[in-house]
Structure 1
Amino acid sequence: MQELLVLTPLNSLLLILVMLLAVVIWRYSATALHAEADKPRFMRALATTFSAVIFTLLSNHLLLFWFGWVLISFSLQQLLLFYPQRPRAQLAAHKKALSARCGELLLALAFMLLYAEYDTANITALIQLIATQTTLSLTGHIAAMLLVLVALLKCAQLPLHGWLIHVVEAPTPVSALLHAGIINLGGILLLTFAPLLSLSMPAASLLLVAATLSTVLAALIMTTRISIKVRLAWSTVAQMGLMLVEIALGFYTLALLHLLAHSCYKAYAFLHSGNAVNHYLAAQLAQPVIPHLRHWFASLSLAAGLIGITHLLVIPFVNLSSALLLILAISVLLLPALTRTDSRRPVRLLIANGCAILLLAIYLAGKTLLQYIAPADNALSMVADLFASLAFLSLFALALLLRYHAQRSAVNRLFIWLNAGGYLDEWATRVTLKLWPFTPLPTKKNTELTPVETVK
């Protein structure tokens, strides 16, 4: 009898991540919800959610994997409704439930097609059979397309993203759990079935186009937000889209590295969001200087030179889009050191270059180590690489326009449209409520006398 549960290098690494997040979020929850009367209910739901995630990662059978996937959604629903009287929390949970049911139905259909095609429900045996093929049948392509749709739904890609934005109505540990862990399940699903996706050009193309559009729009919308938690939520949509773009392009090692880094960062960001006001005040006191075109040109040139040297002397970059992403990221890191023209600029520039080199070394080391754990990379095509590169450049240019030239008429109109989220969530909400209406629970009125009223 084939094993129903299995431990592989990939899921072992993911289990370490999950257990690390579990310890941190559990301790934070125990402190943050100390005064809540319903704290035991919250902790039970949190424990069930983490248990379901661990069970899903260990599952080596299609039925067990699907069962764990469903259990995660239902246990998470209890956390989203920890404050059941909040109307926005009810709406977010309702929209999440509809999205989850659709994803579970599509996942079940994909698994049934794979079982019918390969006559096995054992995931390890299934992946081995797919890896021996060079082409897929129509059934295989349909299954791959369904898995892509499931991943897009699970990663809250536009336009079905609204529930993730409204999750801020739940306690902060729920946001940390969702944004640092649960939201990554779509990427984990595609990494698990990477051999199937790499053989299906239609599925990979669908994933590339949908995730790229979602990444660009979500990243631009994020720049128009003021609320820290809402900005973080939009950042998650954009980051998940970028991870799915990397998977679509066949950069599985880079996608796994992105997944791990994003999980750690988002857990820290949400659990540390209470200090955001202090960081904002510190930034205001720093009196930021608006960079000129020459500053951007200098930072981009230095970043391109650093990546060029790395390409020639250390590890060659075999694709344009990943190298371009690094150039843009490093240029943003170097820019503040170049902007201030005072006597300390050489020192700041030296420190900034040192940080850039250190981050690049960490990136290359992580990617080198993870290539023995992640599925083997399988680049999609040069056209796809160019499409992603053009999208990244467009995002960079539009973000600069929105930040430094928002007073222009055309840019201001774009800002207003983005500030409304492109009205995509309103449209999705109307469709959701038409397909699955619900009646909000009545809000609880506080009839108890306050201490002041009691004295009177």
Structure 2
Amino acid sequence: MNSLLTVTPLKLVLLALVALLAVVIWRYSATALAGEPNKLRFMRALALTLTATVFTLLSNHLMLFWLGWCWISLSLQQLLLFYPERPRAQLAAHKKALSARTGELLLALAFILLYVEFNTADIGNLINQASIQSSLSVSGHLAVGLLVIVALIKCAQLPLHGWLIQVVEAPTPVSALLHAGIINLGGILLLIFSPLLSLSAPAATLLLVAALTSTVLAALIMTTRISIKVRLAWSTVAQMGLMLVEIALGLYTLALLHLLAHSCYKAYAFLYSGNAVNHYLAAQLADQIEPQTRHWVLALLAAALLVALAHQLLPLSSLSSAVLLVLAITVLLMPSMARADSRRPWRVMLALAYGVGLLALYLSGKYMLQQIMPTGSVLAPLADVVTSLVFSGLFVMAVLLRYHSRHRAVNRVFIWLNAGGYLDEWATKVTLKIWPYHSKKTADISALTQVESVK
């Protein structure tokens, strides 16, 4: 008899991440909600959500995994409605509930198809069978396609992203838990079932196109936002899309490293968001220097040299990963080169040292994780080249929006991006047409709150 709960190296890494986030968010919540009349209700819902996450990660049976998946959504719903009298919180929770129920139904259908395909509900046995196969049947491809759609929904990819942007109405610990943990479940689902994704090029293509489009739009829209929390929310959509792009390309080691780094960063960013306002204001008061073309060229060449040296130590898995590293290091180096004064050589040396440190950290993390989640081969090299070109185009567009937004054409794009491409308005209309929503009366909500506080 196969075990219903199992621990694998991948699950151990994810459980360690959950444990770290749980301790930090729990302690922060206990302090931040001191004196809150409904603190007990919040802590209870938080404990249920964390327990559901651990249960889902440990599950080795399709039915148990699905039950844990649903449990997470239902527990999270209570946290999103911690302030139920707020209309925006109600609307966000309503939209989240509809997308969650849709994802759960599609996941159930995918699991049924997988059971029919492999004649087992044991996840470990299923993955082992997929690892030795060279192809899937039509129902198998359909099942993997449904898993991809579920992951896109769970990661709040466009146009189903609106609820993630609006849940900033919930307490800060909820945002930290959601953006640092729960939102990663879509990527975790695909990493667990990666041997299946490796057998389905159509599903991987769907994932690449949808996630790459969402990444580009979300990253550009983020540049137009002023609110710290809203910028972080758009950043999460973009980062989740980038993680899914890496999975679609078969860069599983990079995707797992991305997941871990993003979780730690977003937990810190949201829990530290109050001080982020001061940093933002200080940056606005500082002298703004517009980089010249030569500054970008020098920074790009220096970044390319550093990445080339890193490639000699530990070969990079793809062209797109190399392009991402070069662009990231370029952004890091450019400010030190743009300001012309006597201290520029020292700033450049410090920035170079920082870049080398980040590359060393990246290579170390990749080396340790590649045994746990080895890189696969899903799509053709052409997809890697196209993705690299899209990343380069995104970089150029971000620079134009940052430094040349007064240009008529760029300004038109800026206005459209500032409106979020009107995607959320469209998604909200469709949501309310499918499932009408009526705001609760404040009196009823107050009565409910009093009852909960008595409990």
With the length of structure 2 as denominator, give the TM-score of the two structures.
0.96
Alpha-carbon displacement from aligned partner over 1:25-60 (angstroms, at most 9, x marks no partner): 001111111121011000000000000000000000
Shift of 1:446: 12
Q: Look up the SS of the partner of 1:158 in the other structure.
A: coil
Partners of 2:443 and 2:274 lie apart in 1 by 27
Q: Which position in structure 1 is the counterpart of 2:409?
A: 410
Q: Which position in structure 2 is the counterpart of 1:386?
A: 385
Q: Does residue 65 in structure 1 map to residue 65 in structure 2?
A: yes
Q: How does 1:5-20 map to 2 (within 5 A)?
A: 5-20=5-20
Residue identity matched to 1:341: A
Structure 1 residues 40, 207: CA separation in 2 closer, same or farther (over 3 Å shift)? same
Q: Which moved more, 1:215-224 or 1:301-310?
A: 301-310
Q: Does residue 317 in structure 1 map to residue 316 in structure 2?
A: yes
Q: Look up the SS of the partner of 1:37 in the other structure.
A: coil
Structure 1 residues 376, 277: CA separation in 2 closer, same or farther (over 3 Å shift)? closer
Q: Which position in structure 2 is the counterpart of 1:81?
A: 81
Q: Which position in structure 1 is the counterpart of 2:103?
A: 103
Q: Which position in structure 2 is the counterpart of 1:334?
A: 333
Q: Does residue 435 in structure 1 map to residue 434 in structure 2?
A: yes
Shift of 1:445: 11
Q: How does 1:321-400 map to 2 (within 5 A)?
A: 321-400=320-399
Q: Which position in structure 2 is the counterpart of 1:239?
A: 239
Q: Which position in structure 2 is the counterpart of 1:36?
A: 36
Partners of 2:15 and 2:184 lie apart in 1 by 13
Q: Does residue 424 in structure 1 map to residue 406 in structure 2?
A: no
Q: Which moved more, 1:229-238 or 1:376-385?
A: 376-385
Shift of 1:284: 2.9
Q: Which position in structure 1 is the counterpart of 2:46?
A: 46
Q: Which position in structure 2 is the counterpart of 1:290?
A: 290
Shift of 1:376: 4.1
Contact 1:194–1:375 (Cα < 8 Å) also in 2: no
Partners of 1:382 and 1:266 lie apart in 2 by 32
Residue identity matched to 2:388: S
Partners of 1:230 and 1:267 lie apart in 2 by 15
The answer for unaligned runs of 5 or more in structure 2 is 447-455
Q: Look up the SS of the partner of 1:121 in the other structure.
A: coil
Q: Which position in structure 1 is the counterpart of 2:261?
A: 261
Contact 1:160–1:425 (Cα < 8 Å) also in 2: yes
Alpha-carbon displacement from aligned partner over 1:327-382 (angstroms, at most 9, x marks no partner): 00000000011011111111111111011011001101100100111144225211
Q: Which position in structure 1 is the counterpart of 2:252?
A: 252
Alpha-carbon displacement from aligned partner over 1:226-283 (angstroms, at most 9, x marks no partner): 0000000000000000000000000000000000000000000000000122102321
Q: Which moved more, 1:213-222 or 1:380-389?
A: 380-389
Q: How does 1:139-178 map to 2 (within 5 A)?
A: 139-178=139-178
Q: Which position in structure 2 is the counterpart of 1:211?
A: 211
Q: Look up the SS of the partner of 2:442 in the other structure.
A: coil
Q: Which position in structure 1 is the counterpart of 2:299?
A: 299
Q: Which position in structure 2 is the counterpart of 1:131?
A: 131
Structure 1 residues 140, 307: CA separation in 2 closer, same or farther (over 3 Å shift)? same
Residue identity matched to 1:219: A
Q: Which position in structure 2 is the counterpart of 1:199?
A: 199
Partners of 1:376 and 1:285 lie apart in 2 by 45
Partners of 2:284 and 2:185 lie apart in 1 by 38
Q: Percent identity?
A: 70
Alpha-carbon displacement from aligned partner over 1:278-303 (angstroms, at most 9, x marks no partner): 10232134313111111001100110
Shift of 1:80: 0.3
Q: Look up the SS of the partner of 1:306 in the other structure.
A: helix
Q: Which position in structure 1 is the counterpart of 2:274?
A: 274
Q: Which position in structure 2 is the counterpart of 1:450?
A: none
Partners of 1:283 and 1:379 lie apart in 2 by 42
